[in-house]
Amino acid sequence: MPAACRHRSQSRMRWHAALLVIWAIPAVAAAPVTLPARAVQYRPEVRAWAQVESLAPLVLRTQVVARVDQVLVVPGQTVQAGEPLVTLGGPTLAGELSAARARTQAAQQELAAAQHTLASAKRTYPVVTDRKTLDAAQAGLAAAENDAAAAHTALATLQAQQTLRSPAAAIIGQVEAAPGADLTAGAPVLTLHSHGSLWLRAEVFGDQVLPATATARFAPADGGAAIAVRRVAELPARAQNGARVFNFIAAGAAPWQAGETGDLVWQGTQRTAVAVPSEALVLNAGHWYVLTDVHGKLVAQAVTPGPTRGTDVLITHGLRAGVPVVVRQAYLLFHRDFSAQYAPLD
């Protein structure tokens, strides 16, 4: 074949290859499809495997370092659910309470400032305030609300530790602590013998922060109606599989039987997050990202995904409401841009 013909043939082949590449990724080459992240309210939820067991004596333990102020009961005494048994104090607990109150006050001040900022932005939008500033004010308020709620929960949890109460109707067994005794976190205080015969043992894996609420619900594996339960204790020793072990009792009449299994569903207080379609999330090197459109330029934003809601994923950290997020072929766009910045080693 003459050289000129061979050159024309090679040129045509290169053009055909280029066209095939273009046809193969038409959506990536086009303008990215974005939607604004939406602000939503949700309740963080912990699910755990649980089993109904015969009730054993319950050992009440301290959750914090404290000093025993008063012991209000004696062995053999009958007590009702919620009845105070022991009061705690001491310099360590007092210091933690003081710090928690200061954090709560600071969080309330931040919340008030965020509310004022958003109100001002709404009054001047769109004449003086632009959309970006308004979105930032809304995101700031959501973050301040979450911080204030967390601070209030932490303070309420500490305040509750000042008085140990009976989780159920019971008879006082052995009293381990005396007034003036300094106790470490997890130290036994007294033993209760419940009037009931069954309770729920739940196993929670990992060291995730658990809801401060004491109430939850038990969903039997056989599909029976959910049963309201109340937490009574966390056992000091972990299960053989490494799980944290919690005991719950029924909040009312419960038709359960020993050996019955199911899921414990434990909900926390309401929080604010932003929702994006699941297609917007990209997993790279063990970290989650979304692609945001910042003034026409795509930026990889690290995020912390939370629970799902239908086809959406709730983002708990790293993204604010109103930010445009790529919702179509985000994975291809992310790795296309990443590859463009990659330089192979010599």
pLDDT tens digits, one per residue of 112-130 = 999 999 999 999 998 888 8
Identify whether 277 is part of a domain: yes
Q: Is the pLDDT of residue 22 over 90?
A: no
CA distances from 27 to 79, 312, 331 (A): 69, 22, 12
331 assigned to some structural domain:
yes
State pLDDT tens for residues 96-108.
999 999 999 999 9
Q: What is the pLDDT of residue 102?
A: 97
Q: Is 227 a domain residue? A: no
**CATH code of the domain in which 285 resides:** 2.40.420.20
pTM above 0.75, yes or no: no
* pLDDT, mean over the chain: 85
Please say if the pLDDT value at position 48 is more than 70: yes
In terms of pLDDT, which residue wins out, 238 or 15? Answer: 238
* Boundaries of domain holding 287: 31-43+270-340
Flag whether 232 is in a domain: no
> Considering the domain boundaries, does residue 294 fall inside one?
yes
Position 8 scores a pLDDT of 52
**What pLDDT was estimated at residue 21?**
44
Number of separate domains in the chain: 1
User: Would you say residue 276 lies in a domain?
Assistant: yes
300 within domain boundaries: yes
Instruction: Quickly state the pLDDT bin for 343 (edges 50, 70, 90).
Output: very low
Considering the domain boundaries, does residue 23 fall inside one?
Answer: no
Mean pLDDT of 160-180: 91
